[in-house]
Structure 1
Amino acid sequence: MNLVQPSLWNQAQQTLEEVWGYSAFRPSQAEVVQSLLAQRDSLSIMPTGGGKSICFQLPALLQPGLTLVVSPLVALMENQVQELQQRRLPAALLHSELPIRQRKQTLWALEQQKLRLLYLSPETLLSPAVWERICQPNLKINSLVLDEAHCLAQWGDSFRPAYYRLGAVRPALLRTKPPGTRIAIAAFTATADPQAQKTIQHILQLRQPQVFRCNPYRDNLHLLVKTAWTPRGRKQQLLQFIQARPQQAGLVYVRTRRDSESLVTWLQQEGYTTTAYHAGLSPEERRAIEQAWLHGHTQFVICTSAFGLGINKPACRWVIHFHVPFLLSEYVQEIGRAGRDGEPAIALTLVSEPTGWLDSGDKQRRQFFADKLRSQQQIASQLIHKFPRQGTVEAVSRQFPDGAIALSLLQAAGQLRWQDPFHYAIASTNQSSTTLNQLQTQAIAQMTDYLRTRQCRWQFLLSAFGFAAEATNFRCGHCDCCQS
C-alpha cells in the first residue's frame, strides 16, 4: 500500500528516472522509499548490489531538510558522495581525514542548510563541532539513516562503541527542535540474522519499524569450501586457483595486516603484481589501491575486512577467503563483492583440516577472537564497580583506556542506559553477562557449522538469516555440497 500522496509518489518515480536513469524500482525499493517519505522507522535487509542507496538518497532529495547518513568507512562515504556530486546533488561528507578547508566548507554548508545529504561516521556525528551544529533549533533534520547497519551488531559492543550511542541521538535532537518535529530512522544492511535484527532495532530504539527483507540467495554465486591440510598446501591451492583464471578480477581476504603483507611478498616472488590493503595504510594509499583494482590495473588485492564496503566492481569474478571469517555475517558481506553483474562468480573458502594437528591456524585465530571478546567482558565487569553511577563517556575514556568499550558492553548486557549520546547511567551492577557470552559463542560456532555442513550451503545461509520457509527442501545445485 502506498503511504504517500499520489503527487509526491509521481515525483519520486520521475526523479528516479531523471537522476538515476531507471524507469522502475527494483523489488522492495518502492516500499522502502514510501516508508521514508512517510517518515516511518524501518529496517531494510537487501542483498549487495540491490540498490539500497537509492532508497534513502531519493527521499532525501524530495523532502525539505537534512538526511544524516551514518556510514562505517571513509571509502564507502567517498564513493557515494562522489556519485551524488557528479549528478549535481547537494551532498557532502565529514570525516577525520578531510583537509581542514574542505571540513570548514562542509560545516558552513551545514549551517546554511544547503545540504540534503550529509555522510559521516558515528564518531564524527557525536563530535562536538558537528553535534553543536545539528542541534541548532532552526536546522531541520528529516531522517537519520544507518548504512551497513550490521556493523552496529558486529562492532558496536567491542570495536566501535559509538554505534551503541546512536539510539540516544533522536531523543536528544528532538529536545532541541520545535514541537511536533519528526525524525525517521532507517537502517540498511545486506546481512542481518534474526538476532542482529533484534540488536539493531533495540539499540536504535526504532518505533514500530517496518521491516523489509529480501532473500539473500544469488543464483550466479557458487560457494566452495576446500580443506587445506598444511600452510604450504593452502598457498598452493590459492596459487592454482589464480593461475587458472589469469584474466579474472578477484579479492583474497586474510585476517590481519601481517597476513596480507606476507602473502603479497610470496605472490610477488611467484611473479604476480598485487598489493596489500589494510587499515594501517594512509587514506591516499587506500584510495590508490582501490582505484587500481576498480580500473583493472591490478587483477586482485590481498585485503583484510577493511576492503569492500561500498566499493563496487560488477565484474569481480571471484572471492577467496584465505583465512576463515569469524562471523557468518562477515562472510556473506565479503562474498557479496563477487558477481554483482549477474554473471557466474565463485566464492572459495580455504579451511584447516578439522583436528588442527597439521595446520592449527584457523583454530588459533578463532580462539584468539573468542579470548579477546571474553577479556573485554571481564574488563567491563571489573570496571563497572569503578565507574561513577552516572557520568560522561568523555570522562570515563580519559580515566580508563577501555572505558568506552566497557560502557557499550555494559549496555549490551542490560546494565546501562544512555540519557543522551554523551551521558550514561548504570542501571544495575548485579545482572550477569551470561546471555551476551552465549550469543557471541553461538555466532562463532555458527561459522564453524557452515564450513562443516553437508547440506546445500545456500540452504544453510537462508536458514541462518531467517528465511526458514524458503530454505525448506532448497537445493541450489551449484555449491560444492550439492555437486558432491
Structure 2
Amino acid sequence: MNQIGTTSWNTVLNTFKKIWGYDNFRPPQGEIVSSLLAQKDSLIIMPTGGGKSICFQLPALLQTGLTLVISPLVALMENQVQELRQLNLSAALLHSELPSSQRRLTLQALAQNKLRLLYLSPETLLSAPVWEKLCQPQLQINGLILDEAHCLVQWGETFRPAYRRLGAVRSALLKSKPPGSKISVAAFTATADPLAQKIIASVLQLQQPDIYRLNPYRPNLHLNVCIAWTPKGRKQKLVKFIQNRPQQAGLVYVRTRRDSENLAAWLAEMGYATASYHAGLSATERRAVEADWLGGKIPFVVCTCAFGMGINKPDVRWVIHFHAPLLLSEYVQEIGRAGRDGKPAEALTLVSEPTGWLDPEDKQRQQFFEQQMRSQQQTAQQLAKKLPKQGDVNTVARQFPDGAMALSLLHSSGQLNWLDPFHYVIKPGVNKQSANQIQAAKEMNQYLHTKQCRWQFLLTAFGFAKEAANWRCGHCDRCSP
C-alpha cells in the first residue's frame, strides 16, 4: 500500500492528519481510500456513523481534477460542504434552491478547474446547463461517487427516476474527454441487502468493483417493538417513553408530512418543546429545526424519512418509530442515528396489533403502498405501448405526466436500455415484473412480528447469514423481554 497512482501512502496519512486530525484510519477506511486513489470501481457498505464521507473526500482532495458526489438531499449536501469549507477545502454544491448568483459562481469555478469536490443531486447532474459544463473536454473528472446509494433502490423506480439513468453517465462523459481518460464510480451506503447490492452494481454499471461490507450490528443499540392496541394507546406509549427520558436527545419518525405536523402540534399542546420536519418545508425552515435540535434547544424532532441523512449528532439516546417504516433498509438507516457516541441507545417501534381490528391504520398504510406500486407498474406498461421505441426522456416527460417514471420502471423490469443519460431504446418482448419493493415491504413486516433475536434477523436479511448463525444479541426485546 506504499504507492497509489502518483500519491505515496505517507502523503495520504499526513494529509489525513493535517485536515481531520486523526493519526490513522479505522478499518476498512484505509483500503477504501487506496482503492479510490487507484481509480477502481467500488461498492461500500458501512454502518451509519462509520466515517464513510472521509473515504471519498480524502482521495478527491489528493487528486488534481474533479470528483462528483451525487447526493439525494439538499440538507445532506449543505452539511458536508459546510464542513469541508470550514476546513478551507475546495468543495461546492449545486441544487435547485440555490440563488442564481451562487449557482453562476459555482459553474464558473467548475469551468476554471478550481473545484476538487462538487456535490449535486441526480436531477441537477442531468440538467442541461450543468451537463454541458461537465462535458467540456478540458474539465478533468476523476470519479463519480454515489452517496447514500440505497436511495437509488428505494426511490429510483418512481419517486426520483433520474437515479435510473446514472449508469449511462460515465461512458457519456468519457466520449467528451481526451483519449485514455478514466472515471471511476463508487457507491456508498449504510444499508443494502444482497438484492439492493445487485441493483446498485448493475444500474451503475460498476466494473469489477472492490466490495467492502461491514455488518450493521451495533452492540450499544437496544431494539424493541411494542404493540399499541389503539391510536390513543399509541400516543400514550410515546408520551410515557419521552417522559421517562427528560432532556435526552431523540427522534420520532412518522410516515407522512401530515402525521409529522399533527403529532408535533399535539405534543406541543402537551407542553413538549419539539418541531415538525419534512420535505415540504423551505430550506430556511429545515435549517432552523436542525439547528435547534443540534444545539439542544429542542430535545427531539417529529420527522419523516427526510430528516437525518448526513446530520451528525453523536449523543442521540433514542429513536422512536411512531409508524414503522416501509422497508428494512430505511429502518436500519434511521435507528443508526442513535448512539453514535458508543453509549447505550434505544430504538422503539410502535405497531398496531396484527389483526388490525382495533386500529386498522398500519394495515391500511401497507395496502395503500402495495396498491400504489401495482398501479404505477400498470401505468408504465400501458405507456410502453404508446411511447416511441427510441426517444429522449425530456420529450417523453413533456408529453406524458408519468413519462419519466414509466421509463425508469421499464428500465427496472429489463425492458429498456439507456443509450446515454438522455436517450433510451425499448427492447421488444421482455417483461419481467419488478416486485422488489413489495417483497422488501413484506420483509419489514416479518421483522416486526419475528420471535427470533432482532439483530439476528437483521444480520440475516442484510446478507450476513454466517455471522447470524446461533446469534443472540442479549439486549433486544426478544432476547431479554
Q: Where on the TM-score scale, by shorter chain, does this alignment land: which range?
A: over 0.9
Q: Distance in 2 between matches of 1:182 and 1:10?
A: 24
The structural deviation recorded for 1:431 is 2.5
Residue equivalent to 2:302: 302
Q: 1:206 to 1:5 in 2, by over 3 A?
A: closer
1:448 aligns with 2:449: no
Distance 1:41 1:142, change over 3 A: same
CA distance in 2, matches of 1:201, 1:7: 28
Aligned to 1:34: 34
Q: What is residue 184 of structure 2 aligned with on the other side?
A: 184
1:37 positional shift: 0.3
Shift of 1:50: 0.4
Letter in 2 for 1:441: I
Per-residue deviation, residues 273-313 of structure 1 (Å, max 9, x unmatched): 21110111111000100110000001110000111101111
Contact 2:3 2:9 in 1 (8 A): no
Change over 3 Å in CA distance of 1:230–1:3 after alignment to 2: farther
Write out per-residue CA displacement over residues 113-146 of structure 1, whole angstroms, 9 at most, x where no aligned residue.
Answer: 0000000000000001100000000000000000
Shift of 1:247: 1.5
Asked whether the 8 Å contact 1:328–1:443 carries over to 2, the reply is yes
- The code of the aligned residue for 1:113 comes to N
Please list the CA deviations of residues 46-89 of structure 1 after superposition, one character each: whole Å capped at 9, or x if unmatched.
Answer: 01000000000000011110000000000000000000000000
Aligned to 1:476: 473
Deviation at 1:262, TM superposition (A): 1.0
CA contact (8 A) 2:229 2:352 kept: yes
User: Are 2:325 and 2:331, in contact at CA under 8 Å, matched by a contact in 1?
Assistant: yes
Determine the C-alpha separation between the residues in 2 that align with 1:66 and 1:169.
Answer: 15
Taking the TM superposition and a 5 Å limit, the aligned residue runs for 1:19-418 are 19-418=19-418
SS in 1 for 2:346: strand
Distance across 2 between alignment mates of 1:118 and 1:459: 39
Q: Give per-residue Cα distances to partners, 1:353-383, cap 9 Å, x unaligned.
A: 0000001111101111111111110000000
Q: Is the 8 A contact 1:36 1:59 kept in 2?
A: yes
Secondary structure class of the residue paired with 1:350: strand
Q: Percent identity?
A: 69
Cα deviation for residue 433 of structure 1 reads: 3.5
Separation (CA, whole Å) in 2 of partners of 1:140 and 1:431 = 38
Offset at residue 5 of structure 1 (A): 5.6
Is it true that 1:459 corresponds to 2:456 in the alignment? yes
Alignment RMSD (CA, Å): 1.0
Give the Cα separation in 1 of the matches to 2:361 and 2:419: 44
Q: Deviations over 1:242-279 (max 9, x none)?
A: 00001101000000111111111211121112111011
Contact kept in structure 2, 1:46 and 1:214, CA below 8 Å:
yes
Unaligned residue ranges in structure 2 (runs of 5+): none
SS of residue in 1 equivalent to 2:44: strand
Cα offset, 1:6, TM superposition: 8.8
* Partner Cα distance (2:59, 2:374) in 1: 42
Q: Distance in 1 between matches of 2:65 and 2:6?
A: 21
Aligned partners of 2:244, 2:6: CA distance in 1, in Å?
A: 54
Whether the aligned pair in 1 keeps the contact of 2:167 and 2:204 (CA below 8 Å) is: yes
SS in 2 for 1:483: coil
TM-score normalized with structure 2 length: 0.99
Measured against aligned partners, the alpha-carbon deviations of 1:99-123 in whole angstroms (never above 9, x if no partner) come to: 1111111000000000000000000
Residue 427 of structure 1 deviates from its aligned partner by: 1.0
Structure-1 separation of matches of 2:26 and 2:380: 45
Structure 2 distance, partners of 1:3, 1:390, is 46
Cα 1:183–1:6, aligned 2, differ >3 Å: closer, same or farther? Answer: closer
Give 1:441 deviation, angstroms. Answer: 2.5
Q: After superposition, give the CA deviation of every residue in 1:169-221 in whole Å (9 maximum; x if it has no partner).
A: 00000000000000000100000000000000000000000110011100010
CA drift of 1:3 comes to: 6.9
Letter in 2 for 1:464: A
The code of the aligned residue for 2:130 comes to V
Map Cα deviations across residues 6-48 of structure 1 (whole Å, 9 max, x no partner): 9521111111111001111011101110110000000000010
> C-alpha distance in 2, partners of 1:172/1:5?
24
The answer to whether the 8 A contact 1:3-1:35 is kept is: no
In the superposition, relative to structure 1, how do residues 255 and 2 fare at CA in structure 2: closer, same or farther (>3 Å)? farther
**1:301-341 deviations in whole A, cap 9, x for unaligned?**
00001111011111111000000100000000000111111
Residue aligning to 2:430:
431
State how far apart, in whole Å, the 2-side matches of 1:78 and 1:45 are.
23
The amino acid that maps onto 1:467 is F
Runs of 4+ in 1 over 6 A off after TM superposition: none
Distance 2:430 2:349 in 1: 39
Structure-2 separation of matches of 1:470 and 1:22: 30
Which 10-residue stretch deviates more, 195-204 or 258-267? 258-267
* CA distance in structure 1 between the aligned counterparts of 2:3 and 2:408, rounded to whole angstroms: 36
Question: For the residues of structure 2 that align with 1:337 and 1:142, how far apart are their CA atoms?
Answer: 31
Preserved CA contact (<8 Å) 2:5 2:37: no
Task: After TM superposition, give the deviation of residue 2 of structure 1 in Å.
Answer: 6.4
- In 2, the alpha carbon distance for the partners of 1:398 and 1:245 equals 52
- The one-letter amino acid paired with 1:450 is Y
The secondary structure found in structure 1 opposite 2:417 is strand
Deviating more after overlay: 256-265 vs 117-126: 256-265
**Which amino acid is 1:199 matched to?**
I
SS of alignment partner, residue 103 of structure 2: helix
- TM normalised by structure 1 equals 0.98
